Every structure is written in C-alpha cells, then in structure tokens.
Structure 1
Amino acid sequence: MCTIKIKIAEIAILLAIMTSTFRGKASEQELSSDWKMASMEQVKSSGEEISQVGYRLRGWQTAIVPGTVLTNLLEQGEVPDPFYGMNNEKIKDIYETGRDHYTYWFVNDFNKKAKGEEQVWLHFRGVNYSCDVFLNGQKVNDERHYGMFLRQTYNITKLLATNGNNRLAVIVYPVDPVGNPNGGQGGDGEIARNVSHQYVAGWDWIQPVRDRNTGIWDQVTLETTQLVNLQNPHAITRVSGIRFPGKKQQPAQIQTSAELVNPTNKTVNGKLVAELDGIKVEQAVSLPANSTQLVKLPELLVENPKLWWPNGYGSQNLYKLSMKFLQNDQVADEETITVGIREIQRQWNDRTRSMEILVNGQKVFIKGGNWIISDAMLRFSPERYDAEVRYHRDMNLNLIRIWGGVLAERPEFYEACDKYGLLVIQDFWMSGDCNGRWMDPKKKHDQWIRRQYPDDHHLFIQSAADAVKLIRNHPSLAMWCGGNEIKPPVDILETLRDSVLKKLDGTRWFIEYSNSDSMSYNFLGGNGDGPYGIQPDSIFWQHRTWPFNSEVGSVGVGDAESLLRFLPEENQVIPTEKRGTESVSDPVWTYHKYIGYGNSIAAYGEASNMEDFARKAQLVNYNQYRALIEGFSAHMWDWYTGTIIWKTQNPWTALRGQMYDYFLDPNAGLFGLRTGSKSLQAVCNPATKMISIVNNGFESENDLMLVAKAYDMEGNEQLITQVFVYIGPTTSKKILSVNSALKRMGGEKDGSFLLLQLQNHQQKVVAENFYWFPNAEGNYSGLQSISKSKLEVSAKKTGKNKVVVHLKNPSGAPVAFFNRLAIVDAKSHERVLPVFANDNYNSLVPGSEKTIELECPQSDNTNWEISIEGWNFAKQYFPVQ
C-alpha cells in the first residue's frame, strides 16, 4: 500500500483493486477481471439469454469482483464515499428503495475448454445473499443458492463451449428481509433472519451499509482436474506432554484426510498420498461412479518437530503438507495446505473460576483483541489482512476474537494469524442483540420470535459446516464460539456441538456463547463483559472484574492527521460532550460514533482546537490501554486467565475503540499496549505506585536487575532503586512501592516521571517502561509548563523500505516527552501507511538515546522524510540519509 491520501474514495478504490491478488494452486485461475454489471431494473432479458456470448452488453458497466454493488457504484462515481463525513446519508437505503434496486447481474467472459478427461469446476467462495448462475445459455444451479457463508462448486465441464469462448452470468439478490436500520443494534433485528452478517443494518460502532453488502463478495475461481477432484483436505496435529520452545522435541502425530469426488459414470481406482517434510503416507482408494468419499490416511509421525507457538512464546514454524490423488501414478488432483504443529488444550482454574488456555502443554495468559471485519464494505486483500494482523502482533497480543455479527473470516486472514502467532476465537453468526437475549423496543419482534432466528436453521448448520472445512487447518484457529453473548437456538447448538464440530474438527474447544460461564464464571452480575468507556487508570488494577473478560475496552480517537481524512472542514471541532449522553455538539462526530473522554483531556489543559484535543487524546489512549493490559497481567492466574479488548480495530471511519484507524494509521493506544504487554516487563500500579514484574514466559528469570529512576519537570534525576529480582514462569510478582520517592521529586505539586528498566546480567536493557503521573489534584500541571525539548534526530535507510531513526536527548535537558514519529512523503509530507515501528510515542530522559526502527513493506515510493512531533518538541521534518 502506498502513501495514504486524504481522499477516502481513492483508498476505497485501491483496496478494491488489491483484492485481485490471488494465491492458489496451479490448476486454478481466479476470474477477477473483465466483469460487467447491470441492475435487474435495467436488464429485462433472461439468464439464458444474457449468458450467451452473442448477447450484447450495451450500457453495462465495468465491475470489480470480488466486490459488492455498493463498492462498484462507489468505483463508478455514482455514490459518494460513505466513510466521509455524512455522505452515507446521501445514499439510498435498501429498506426504502426495495430489494430490486440493489439486485444486479454480473457477467464474465472467459476462455476455457476441457482437454481429454479433464474436469472443470466453478467455485464461488462467497455470494451475498442468493443467486442464480448461468453459463453459455444454460442454468448451472438446479435451485437458487442461498447463504452468505456457503461456498458453491459446480462441475461445468459439459457446459463449456467447444471453442473455449464462454460467458458466465450471475444474478445476485440481496438478503430478505433487509432489516429496518432504525438505530438499534442490527436495526430492527430482522437482518438476523438471514444467514449473513448483522452489522450491516447498523450498530453502536457503525452506520448502516446501504446495500447490505449485496454482491459476489469473495473469490470466483476455475479449477481443472482429471477424473477426481480432491477437496477439503484436513490435518490434525497431536503434541503430547509439556513442551518448551526451541528445545528438542518428542515426536508429533499428524492425522490427515480428504474428500475425493468422482463426477464420472465409472469407478476410478488410485491412491491418496500425503507428504510433509519428506515423510509420506498413502491409502489405496476405489471411488464408485458419481460419488464423494472421505478418505483417512495412516498417521504421519514427525520426529523432533518444529512447533508452532502463539506470539510472545516462541516461533511460528509452519510446514507445507501436500495431498495428491494418483491414478496410474499420474496426478489427478493435488492440494497443498499449511500446517503448524501444535495442540491446544484447556483446563479450569478454580481460583479465578475461568478457563485457562494451554498450547503444547503450557499455560498461555490470553491478551486479546476483538476484531470486527477488515472493511465494512468487504474490500479485502491479503496485504491489508497482513498489515492489520501484524499490528496485533506488534501490540504483543496473542489472540483475536472474531465477533459474532460478521464473518467466518477468510483464509487470507488466518494465513496472517498463522504467520504472526495470533490465536483466534471464531464466533458463529449470532448476537444477543438481534437474536433475542434482551428486550429491545427498537426490535420488530419480541424475544421469543428473535430467539428462533435465522429462519432457515438447516442453512445455518450447512453454512457452519462449510466454514469449518474452509478454515480448520489453520494452527491459529483455537476456539469456536456459538455466538456473541447468546447461545444459538437449541437445535442449532446441539447439532453444532455434537455433530458438526465433532465430525469435521474434533480438536477445538466449543464455547456456547462469548461470555459463557463455562469460559468465565459470572459471579459479579451484569452481562459478564465490559465496561466500554473511559476509566480511571487505577480501575484496571484495583477493581476486580470478570475472570476471562471477552469484551472490555475504551476510547480510541486518532490524531489530527487521522481525523482530517474523513472530517469535513466545518466539522473539525473540539467535541463538546453533553452530560449523561454519548453524543457531542457536532453531528459528524456523533454520526461516526464518538464516545467521550470525560475529564481526562482537561487534566492536560483545556483543548484549544481539534488538533490540540487529538494530541492530548493520545496521552489518554496510551495510558488507558497500558493500564488495562498491565492491570490484568499483574493479576494473572489470581483474578484472571485472560482478557479480550473491545475492540482493537474499526472497519470504517469510527471514533471509538481502536488502536489504528481505518487507514491503518496507529494511534498511541497501540504503543501503550505494546509496552504494557511485553512478555517480560516491569509495571507500576498507578494507584499505589507499587512496582511489579510480569513474566509471561515459560521459564524463570533468575538474573534480572530492576532499575527505577524518578525525574522532575526540569529533568533532575533520582535513583530510587537498583536491585536484583527473580521471578518464576508465567507469573507476576510485587517488588516495592515508589510512592514516596515520586513525592520527593515534586510529584504532588507538578507531577513526575518514572523510568523502569529491566537489565540482564550483561547490563543490557531487556524491557523499559516510562510513566508520567499527575499532581495531587489529578492534573498534569508540570507538563503544561515543561521546557522545550532539545531532542537531536538523525535518520538513515537501512534496507528496502526500512529506516532507522536515532534520537538523543542531551544531558541537562528536560525530558523529551511523548514523541510521535512518522514516515512521510518528502514532497507532500503526507504519511506513508501502513508503517510498523518497534517503538513510538516515546520519551527520552536527559542523557539517553534511542534507536527506532520503522518499516513500510507495502510502499512503492521511498522518497521519504521523517516527521517528529513531541509534547515539548514542535513538528519538524528530517531527511533520510
């Protein structure tokens, strides 16, 4: 991804184009170009007529597939960008227009013919919501296809044109009912009568998607095989006992299977072969005519395997597993999947009354983020998935939960999680709001009726089974969940739990709903999750909440450059909050779901304009999320077994709960989490000023030096302590209080700074944490009068798309406080995004130096400068040598 422009439409187009990237096997080709589209209201011809090559597509528009009707209309300039300002209100909603308005034909001309005994298969990985498919004048599907999450596969060998010139025509119908977007969670709730995503009728973090994401939203591919099609290969890895990263391992077992499809009218004999790392197993097979058969192979035994570990605990080793069906020693079909050798278990913690997650026999303290979807309008790409998941890795999180109102996430998302070590909880498509957990006057039907949504239970179960097959091989997939804050209806629940998951997976924990007592016993009352707004930092340390909190979060406004990308000039204002509500004085801020910062901004001095407000908001973001993750981690195994932040990202230009914005620009919350969530870290309770050490690793740390220093606003230093500490594996340990030392440095009058370092026996700093504290009245009075920074900066390029920035704060200077670094285009000074940094929003004490590494792997422009702006350092630009 190149430099992010302020015009949102340009970004939307870029992301849509990027979806054409396809990574499949050699026998597959993606139909991702040369599509045309037209409204059903415009075209009166039949599918048999339209799908003939000779039919003229006069007046049809170029289409992007994968893509929705709305993304295509946006590309063609027929609607304004719904993510900018109040533009979404200018787009007709399907509830008002009727479904025909967003019912569209999609047509693709492609060249393909079968040779000899070849079989050609047409695959749709996702159509929303129902469709009929035509090829060369003939209808392909006997009955209309329904279901957003149910893949389609058709053998089209006999329908292909003998000259190879073919036309595919697909008419796509929206969900039915479309739901009334009346401001409720999921609007009036009727959207949940479909087996589709629910947020498109609106939620408390997004406005309605006007076409409900109607379209061919995922890949369309052609696959060529011989007489047999190998489908849905499956690998289960077994890792017994307690393992340690980087050590010699006892053997691991891998169980493999695949479905073999014989579409012909004769029996086919051959063998199924699986190979991993030079180890082969095989099974002779006889396939009757017109049959599908599940074939299980003998067990693969892998000596001294390289194991897959979650982020922060070890490497994410991956293997390629090849599966082939051989007929007369010739390959009829082949699939290659990626395998991570690991085993995930669970055990109940009687002290916390919540579940503990184990990987390869080791307890893992869960530090997670709730994920909605990469893009609300379904403009996905491997590059964007990689960037978003990498940000979660960089926050030192180890889990992502897929919220139940959206998708079974795409394989490309899971590939990124495999790569970066993020465990995943995959919710199925239920929510307490739409599916009847609570009374809600905005809902059309009462709880008893909503409790039976969706209308077609069989389709839900069929779609769930197909989703399991799609993503079950990924080592990152750790848990299934029946729904968000509610169990599925009894028949769906029992079938999922007792049949589908046992038969098709059998290795992962199934949580009946996201805040289930089986995950985290609710002995506190309420819903078992939250809160969701600004909290005093001390709350996360002092107040005990649910023992495995599936949703807890806070604010997340970006800085001024982030806000300028979607706020019109007249709406670039200070958000003045109204007492007792979440609304603000400006309608665009309200429309983009802003939640307030309370009096936390005023503690740094009243904001003078939007830029000043956003700058001060970053200080709050950093402290909120650092305090959250440190407070939970400091009570690991005693109060908690894990926590999942609501939420870490937004699929549109929202003004709440995010660590980076829709444009992949990080805010300070990301780096607060990164610092507070390090595998080994010294942390400070903001209420008591008690220092603790948190060790998330599997081994003891027996030779650490804790160094604690206090600083006043002039930069004067006081060494508080320098002491060797020892700490066992996966635990936290209190060391000492620094409260009195901070008071001696003028903390009660002006506030003070605290630097914590952990050094190894070579005196190398292995972890650092820097705090700023208010005065006795809770105000940061000293920061408001601190002297200007004397920061010295140099930058040089060290490799392709990489820059190292050296920062130095000379002795005798004040603290160089809260410096934000960015890579910018040398001409326009616009930020280059996404950018990944080993540190940011950093502070330097007098006489210290830091080296910051920045990387922009998706940028094709390297004419860069470095932008730096700090609390006491005016923005400057520095050349990259």
Structure 2
Amino acid sequence: MKTRFLLFILCGFFLNVFAHQEYELNKGWQCRNIEKVHASGTQLSNVSFPLHHWLPATVPGTVLTTLLNDKIFPDPFYGMNNKKIPDIYHAGRDYYTYWFVNNFRESFPQGDEQVYLNFHGVNYACDIYLNGHKVNEQRHYGMFLRQSYNITSLLAKNGENRLAVIVYPPDPVGNPNGGQGGDGTIARNVAIQYPAGWDWIQPIPDRNTGIWDKVTLLETKGVLLKNPHIITLVPGKRFPDARTQDPAIIKASIAIENPTDDEMKGEVQYTINNQVIKKNVDLLPKSTQMVHFSDYTLQNPRLWWPNGYGDQALYNVRFQFISDNHKVLDEASQNIGIRQIETSWDEHTRSRKVYVNGQKIFIKGGDWIISDEMLRFSPGRYNAEIRFHKEMNLNLIRVWGGALTERPEFYNACDKYGLLVFQDFWFSGDCNGRWKDPMKKNDQWTRRNYPDDHALVLASMKDQIRMLRNHPSLAFWCGGNEITPPNDILNQLEDSILPKLDGTRYFFEYSNTDSMSYNSLGGNGDGPYGIQDPDHFWNDRTFPFNSEVGSVGMGDIESLKRFIPEHDLVIPDSDHLDSVWEYHKFIGYGNHIKRYGTPKTLADYCEIAQLVNYDQYRALAEGFSAHMWDWYTGFIIWKTQNPWTALRGQMYDYYLDPNACLYGLRCGAEPLHIMCNPVTGMIMTVNNTFQPYRNIMLREFTIELNGKKNPDNTQFIYISPSSVQPFFSVEDQLDALRRQGGGFLQLQLLDANRHVLSGNLYWIPDTIGNYTGLSHMPEAKVHLVTKELSDTSIRVSLTNPSGNPVAFFIRLSVVDPATGKRILPVFYDNNYLSVLPGETREVHISSEKPFEKCALQISGWNVKEQTVKLSF
C-alpha cells in the first residue's frame, strides 16, 4: 500500500505520513457503450477479461466529454455544432449508458489497514464492481449523493485490481422542447435541471451522464475520521484593522468509524494555531461514534472578512486519532475562517440585513450558474472565476438552484477571495411548478411534488451540508430558486436537518422570499434582466434586496470569433436575427448602440457594446449603492458568468476573457467610491468600509471633446463609515457639455498625499441623449512603458501628452506575439480605461501562471492599436 505511480494527496506530517492517504483514480480509464458490451459486471471487473476496442475515458467527466475528447463529436460550444450531436431524448437512454473500467494497483492491506473507494459524484445511477464482486448492494441513485465503500476485503492479494462501473443517465431525461428545463420532467430526478435547456443555454445531449466528479482511494490504519464540524463564534462588534481582537470560541466535533472487529481505545485531538485539544475515546467494534470537544477559546484571532471589508485569514484544523500505543491511525484536515454571520430584519427597507463579525455588510452579489455546462471543473478555473468576482468588488455569489451544490474547490476559492456564498438547493420555479407553463408535460400540482424520490433528496441534502458546512464563505442556505421544496422536504430541512447538521446559517425558504426582500411591487420579485437606461437604476425603486437583476453582456469581436463561424459574424438585427446568434441566446441592446452612431462593421458594433456594457453595470452598482440602507440592503446581479458560449449576462466569456461589464462593475462597486447621479447631477460618495475618511479632497472638473480641461472644483470633505453622502450638484456644468455636443466629467477622491483613492470618468451625451460627438474626437497618441515586476506580474504606464484629447476607453490585452491571440486568463486591475491629457495611468497585470513569450496590445476609441513585446 505504499508505492504507486498515481497522484497522492497526503495529509499530516512526516512522523505519521502513512496514517491517512487519499489518491485519485483519474488515469487509465476506458469506456464502452452498453449496447456493445456483452458481459456482466463481475466478468468485466476481472483483470483477465480482455477490453478490445474500448475508448479512452475522461474521469472525472461526462460521457459527452469523453466522446468529444475522442474526436467523435465536434465542439458543441462552436456555432451550431451542438445540434449535430444526438440528443438523448431522441436517441434513447442506452445511447449514453456506458461502462467505465479502470485497472489500478493497490497493495493488499495488512493488519487493521482499511481501504475505502469513494465516488464524489455520479450522474445519475450506477452499479460498481471490483475484482469480480458487486460493491454496492443496491443500485446507487442521485447526482449529488456521494458514495463511500470499504473495499478492504475485495482487494486482490497480488495488488492488481480492476474497477468496473456502469453509469445510467437520468430517468426521465426530459424533452428539450425549448422550455425552461425543457418539459420539466428532468426535475423528477435529484439532479441539475438546466441540461434540458434554459433561456441562456441549449440542451446538453447526454444530460451530463457520467462519473462527473472524483473517484478516490482512501487508506487508513484502522479507524476513519469523517464529517468534521467546526463552528466559530465571534461575539461583539469587530474591526478588521484592530491591533488585537477579543477571543473567539471554537466548537468542534467529528465522527469516528471503527470498521474492525476489535475495540479501539485512544485519543482524538485537533490542532489549531499550534494548540492541541484532546479527548479520550473508546470505540466499539463495527461502530461509528460522534465526538464533541469542549469549547476552545482562541485568543487574539485573525478574523475572516468578506471582500472589501478586511482580510481573509484562514486556519488549518488537523484532527487525529492516536491509539493507546501512540500511533496515528487516521487524520483529517480542514481549513476554516474565524467569523460569525448573522442577519436581522430591517424595517426601514423591509429586507434582510447581513452582519459579519458584528458589522453590517451591504451585499453586492452575482448569480452563478456553474463553471462549465459539461462539468469540466478544475481548481485553476474555479480560482480564476472567483478571482474575477473579487476583481468586480463583489462580496457574494449566489449558487443558482437549477444547477448544483458546487465542488469544495469552488468554496476554497471563495474562502480565499472573500466571496460569501448564498447556496440554493436543487429546485426552480420553472420546473417545480410555480407557474402554469404550456411547455411543461405535467401540471403544476404534479410538478410541485418533484423530484419523485423525496428520501433521496433528504439524504443528498444531508450529505452536501456535511461536505460544505465548514467553509467560512458559505453564508446562507436557500430552499430553491423562486420556489420552496415540497412541504415534507422543506419541513425536515428547516426544522431538523439544518439545525442538527449546521445550525449557524440563516435559511431562506426560496430565493426571492419575503423574508429576504418584501415584495411590495408585484410580479415575481426578480429582474428586470435586459438593457435599461442608466437613469433607471438611480431613479426607480425596485425590490429592497433583489436576488436577480441584470442586463446585457456580449464580448468584443475577439470573443465572438472563438465560437461564431466567420460567415455568421454579422451585425445583429433583432428583426432578422442570424441563426447562430439566436442559438447562442443573444439579447439585444435596443437603441443604446445607435446613441453612439451607426456601426459599419461588427467590430464597430462590439466596440460600442463595450461602452454600453461599462455604463450599464457601473450605473447598476452606483444606483443601488446610492440608496444603501434607505431603499436597499443589497443586490445580486443576474448573472455574472455563463457555462457555455452564450451572448448574454456575463462579465467574462466562457474562455475567461473579460468584457467591459467587469470593469464598469468594478468601478461602480468600489468600497470607497465617488459618483454622479445622472438624473440630478449630484456628486456623492459611497463608503462601504467601517472606517471614516478624514481630510479627503473631492475634485471634479469637465473636459471638452477636443481635450480642453475646464477649471477644477475642489473641497475637503469628511466621509463617514458605511455611508452614502451627497455634496453638490454639477448639473450646470453637465448642461454646458451637452450643449457642446458632449464631453467628460472627471471625479476624484484624493488623500493627504494626493494619491487617488477613487476616480470616475463619465462620458456625457448631447442634448438629445446621443454620444455621436465621441466619433469626432481627434486621435490621442499614447506613450506606453512596460515593466516586468516578476514572471507573473507586469506594470504598464500609459501617458497621454498635454494638448491631446482624452485617450478614451483603452483596452489592454496580453497576447501571444506569434498569433496575436489573447492569453487567458489574465487579470488587470483596470481596463477599458481612459487617460486625460497630461496624465499617466498605471495598470498592474498579473497571472496565476508565469508569463513566457508574450506581448502587450492596446487599442482604444481614439487610440491606434499598438503592440509591445515583453521579455521575462
């Protein structure tokens, strides 16, 4: 059980390195369709059984992932290729029912050593065989329910083992008839609903059938530690920058399984911050015992805060079982954050208010679907996507109920970057009967009782709660998207399961429940979802804690070229929309493009769309923030990302290329921000932090389209903590610009060292609301200087000489110098930025991976494209 050529995940230190080992079975899988296999599971799982003409399989992965990797089908993300792949509804369930086989080496256990086979996620049902034996007595069902089997007695004496798994698709698979979740019947399974299609995605042909999450082998020395539970209590009102913190309380428990025939005596302990908390235990044979430790007081803790409010300190907690003869038999590690999350009802806004460590937090959130529609997850992609959310200055992600409880790596990234998580369970108003819907096969009363197996729902909920409950980022549980689960499930979840297994997080019965945001406006309590006049976000009141409000989000021409065939790269016409654009769910920009002039090419259209994108999401963040604690306690944007190549509602495309939505939102959602109400011309500040800002200079001035700067208006101001403050109106200056055909308004907050704490440039239309004056701006010749700070970090200085016009709306891109293609993902601390005459702007660019051969490309509205090679 020691040497192997597979990846090890080792827990513990050198002294007890063999106490607990887990490694992943992610290499050497083969698969074959059930119709081509004429052998039983006991035969297939015999190492001597020949596997002729089997396909290399991708595990973890879905059946369709394997078929794509084996070049059997074309990329469904490109053009109309998805329609070329047989859909399971028409092809039949057997078409995507597959056997998966893996040969692995595992030395036969010695003494009390135990080996467990773990499946972290299978969709939808499976039977498992090992070395000629059936592993699971009953067929496993359920996409979310993890599986763990003690296979100690089934392992081969010579260490050569074969695993065979047959995976069955969901049943029913759902008719992809164009409805939300197709005909709704996919919701009869305890599984994700979107694979039958939604208004932002096309149906997924195999409905995500497969071994979609990790398969691991876990070795212990006799006992198994599992399901740790750590609760942190942080009483009182805390401040992130306090030199010392009052103590925090740690409550910890863990389950210990003794699978052997012998009684086990020893000591279970956990270590945090180099402190050890112990408890003696006696374990009966073939039993599992829950151990609760005495409360531990952690002195001067480093606290975990949401993004924008403080640091995200994490502690590692290491549990160990030590036998009477001082051997470590098993151990388990868990990262935690010391924080306490509470809520209260705000009678003024009539919505839920969130507190972290005693401080009220204005929620700026994004709705998350899933990282990849085909469940191709990786820690690197999760890290990049969550980092983008941090870069947007958001502090919450809502995981939508038509998808899944995300993987632990997702929550690890949220822990790291400070994104609170609002976690839905697997129900939606569309499939589960909230509305009458002619696209659905069954009536509302029938759909209201979906899924069919309520016991499986409850078992899956318990399992997923145990999996996620220790993450500091996990802030709220929610019964479902726009609807509660059926009453018998809801009552057990709310009254029994959550109090017993968690007990620390507020539970919303559904995503737009009145206990979150009282709906006094009628409708569903969500939206709107399309293009809006920026004035609307400032002037028109909506739901006081809106769980879904959003807009457009198409990328630029480089983004479109990745998935739209060349002959379909045409300017979209809403009256006669190109079929590929329609297939990829494009929603139009209304008259907002024409306000900038008539685009001559698709590249022109995309460039203008980025201006609209920026303005839309800056206005959304600013309009909600302007009414913080008065109208609103938070907002959640529908939506920040897409799991495939859709043309709507996204801050970056599927390939992790950001568009201007991200940077408009980043600007408008700054923790400390200066802004202008476009309706009244009032200059305002928003301070989302807990600290006051004293002796701050407020500076504003206007710039004409030819680059002429008008006189500054400056004053020293005081900014209160967690506040919105108006100062003065600049409506007369804005009117003057409008009469001239447009111009710019520059706002700044500067500290005592004249460093810019917040800067905000608005482009102002003419008297009829058009921006056509921008088209007549002279060219601005920008000087570019780059400095490589490290192999993963670049600093760029952009200088616009005096006498120039504004160098407007510059896009920076790190590219491959050989191909000109963008290197992705790359993180820019500013982009789609403008440089005023006589000024220099700096941008820091970074990557998780080292930059190698690359170049920096810039282009702008009135700035010619230039490329500078970089060397590392």
TM-score category of the 2 structures, normalised to the smaller one: over 0.9
2:763 maps to 772
Distance in 1 of aligned mates of 2:830 and 2:328? 50
Are residue 136 (structure 1) and residue 131 (structure 2) matched?
yes
Distance in 1 of aligned mates of 2:458 and 2:739? 61
Secondary structure at 1:467's aligned position in 2? helix
CA displacement 1:756-808 (0-9 Å, x = unmatched): 10011222111111110111111112101110112111212110121111100
2:565 maps to 568
CA displacement 1:160-218 (0-9 Å, x = unmatched): 00000000000000000000000000000000000000000000000000000000000
Q: Compute the displacement of 1:559 (Å).
A: 0.3
Q: Compute the displacement of 1:874 (Å).
A: 2.1
Secondary structure at 1:763's aligned position in 2? coil
Secondary structure at 2:426's aligned position in 1? coil
The equivalent position to 1:179 in structure 2, one of 153, 174, 183, is 174
Are residue 793 (structure 1) and residue 784 (structure 2) matched?
yes
Distance in 2 of aligned mates of 1:114 and 1:547? 59
Secondary structure at 1:538's aligned position in 2? helix
Q: Compute the displacement of 1:708 (Å).
A: 0.2
2:658 maps to 666
Secondary structure at 1:259's aligned position in 2? strand
Distance in 1 of aligned mates of 2:395 and 2:10? 28
Residues 127 and 24 of structure 1: CA distance in aligned 2, closer, same or farther (over 3 Å): farther
Q: Which amino acid aligns with 2:431?
A: C
Q: Which amino acid aligns with 1:244?
A: F
1:203 maps to 198
1:256 maps to 252
Name the TM-score, length of structure 1 as normaliser.
0.96
Q: Compute the displacement of 1:271 (Å).
A: 1.8
The equivalent position to 2:607 in structure 1, one of 612, 615, 627, is 615
1:805 maps to 796
The equivalent position to 1:417 in structure 2, one of 414, 427, 449, is 414
Question: Do the aligned partners of 2:252 and 2:292 also contact (CA within 8 Å) in 1?
Answer: yes
After TM superposition, the structure 1 stretch with the greater mean CA deviation from structure 2, 393-402 or 756-765, is 756-765
Q: Compute the displacement of 1:568 (Å).
A: 0.3
Are residue 724 (structure 1) and residue 716 (structure 2) matched?
yes
CA displacement 1:576-603 (0-9 Å, x = unmatched): 112xxxxx52000000000000010111
Residues 120 and 368 of structure 1: CA distance in aligned 2, closer, same or farther (over 3 Å): same
After TM superposition, the structure 1 stretch with the greater mean CA deviation from structure 2, 687-696 or 45-54, is 687-696
Q: Compute the displacement of 1:23 (Å).
A: 5.4
Distance in 1 of aligned mates of 2:849 and 2:408? 20
Distance in 1 of aligned mates of 2:34 and 2:627? 59
The 5 Å alignment of 1:574-723 reads 574-578=571-575, 584-723=576-715
CA displacement 1:670-707 (0-9 Å, x = unmatched): 00011111110101112222110000001222221100
CA displacement 1:107-154 (0-9 Å, x = unmatched): 111111212210000000000000000000000000000000000000
Are residue 463 (structure 1) and residue 460 (structure 2) matched?
yes
Q: Compute the displacement of 1:862 (Å).
A: 1.3
CA displacement 1:418-471 (0-9 Å, x = unmatched): 000000001000000000000000000000000000000010010011000111
Distance in 2 of aligned mates of 1:115 and 1:575? 68
Secondary structure at 2:702's aligned position in 1? strand
Question: Do the aligned partners of 2:256 and 2:289 also contact (CA within 8 Å) in 1?
Answer: yes
Distance in 2 of aligned mates of 1:315 and 1:553? 29
Q: Compute the displacement of 1:743 (Å).
A: 2.5
Q: Which amino acid aligns with 1:684?
A: C
2:486 maps to 489
Are residue 240 (structure 1) and residue 235 (structure 2) matched?
yes
Secondary structure at 1:659's aligned position in 2? coil
1:153 maps to 148
After TM superposition, the structure 1 stretch with the greater mean CA deviation from structure 2, 197-206 or 265-274, is 265-274
Question: Do the aligned partners of 2:112 and 2:260 also contact (CA within 8 Å) in 1?
Answer: no
Q: Which amino acid aligns with 1:436?
A: G
1:365 maps to 362
1:53 maps to 47
Q: Compute the displacement of 1:727 (Å).
A: 2.0
Q: Compute the displacement of 1:21 (Å).
A: 8.4
Question: Do the aligned partners of 1:712 and 1:747 also contact (CA within 8 Å) in 2?
Answer: no
Are residue 281 (structure 1) and residue 263 (structure 2) matched?
no
Question: Do the aligned partners of 1:21 and 1:381 also contact (CA within 8 Å) in 2?
Answer: no
Distance in 1 of aligned mates of 2:735 and 2:578? 41
Q: Which amino acid aligns with 2:860?
A: G
The 5 Å alignment of 1:860-871 reads 862-871=852-861
1:16 maps to none
Q: Compute the displacement of 1:344 (Å).
A: 0.1
2:15 maps to none
Distance in 1 of aligned mates of 2:641 and 2:479? 22
1:528 maps to 525
Question: Do the aligned partners of 2:7 and 2:24 also contact (CA within 8 Å) in 1?
Answer: no
Q: Which amino acid aligns with 2:323?
A: Q
Distance in 1 of aligned mates of 2:548 and 2:207? 26
Question: Do the aligned partners of 1:281 and 1:299 also contact (CA within 8 Å) in 2?
Answer: no
What is the aligned length?
855
The equivalent position to 2:863 in structure 1, one of 869, 873, 879, is 873
Question: Do the aligned partners of 2:422 and 2:475 also contact (CA within 8 Å) in 1?
Answer: yes
2:86 maps to 92
Distance in 2 of aligned mates of 1:90 and 1:764? 56
Structure 1 unaligned residues grouped into runs of 5+: 1-19, 579-583
Structure 2 unaligned residues grouped into runs of 5+: 1-5, 12-19
Question: Do the aligned partners of 2:424 and 2:478 also contact (CA within 8 Å) in 1?
Answer: yes
Secondary structure at 1:27's aligned position in 2? strand
Percent of matched pairs sharing the same residue: 56
The equivalent position to 1:762 in structure 2, one of 733, 753, 762, is 753
Are residue 292 (structure 1) and residue 288 (structure 2) matched?
yes
Are residue 547 (structure 1) and residue 547 (structure 2) matched?
no
Distance in 2 of aligned mates of 1:127 and 1:747? 60
Are residue 32 (structure 1) and residue 26 (structure 2) matched?
yes
Q: Which amino acid aligns with 1:71?
A: T
2:16 maps to none
Distance in 2 of aligned mates of 1:699 and 1:40? 64
The 5 Å alignment of 1:399-438 reads 399-438=396-435
Distance in 2 of aligned mates of 1:379 and 1:326? 38
Question: Do the aligned partners of 1:832 and 1:856 also contact (CA within 8 Å) in 2?
Answer: no
Question: Do the aligned partners of 2:423 and 2:474 also contact (CA within 8 Å) in 1?
Answer: yes
Distance in 2 of aligned mates of 1:210 and 1:748? 56
1:190 maps to 185
Q: Compute the displacement of 1:608 (Å).
A: 1.0
Secondary structure at 2:95's aligned position in 1? helix
Q: Compute the displacement of 1:266 (Å).
A: 2.4
1:109 maps to 103
Structure 1 runs (4+) greater than 3 angstroms displaced? 20-26
Name the TM-score, length of structure 2 as normaliser.
0.97
1:499 maps to 496
Question: Do the aligned partners of 1:824 and 1:865 also contact (CA within 8 Å) in 2?
Answer: yes
After TM superposition, the structure 1 stretch with the greater mean CA deviation from structure 2, 284-293 or 588-597, is 284-293
Distance in 1 of aligned mates of 2:163 and 2:401? 33
Distance in 2 of aligned mates of 1:611 and 1:734? 39
Question: Do the aligned partners of 1:834 and 1:858 also contact (CA within 8 Å) in 2?
Answer: no
Residues 498 and 251 of structure 1: CA distance in aligned 2, closer, same or farther (over 3 Å): same
Residues 829 and 21 of structure 1: CA distance in aligned 2, closer, same or farther (over 3 Å): farther
CA RMSD of aligned residues (A): 1.1
Distance in 1 of aligned mates of 2:745 and 2:427? 46
After TM superposition, the structure 1 stretch with the greater mean CA deviation from structure 2, 87-96 or 256-265, is 256-265
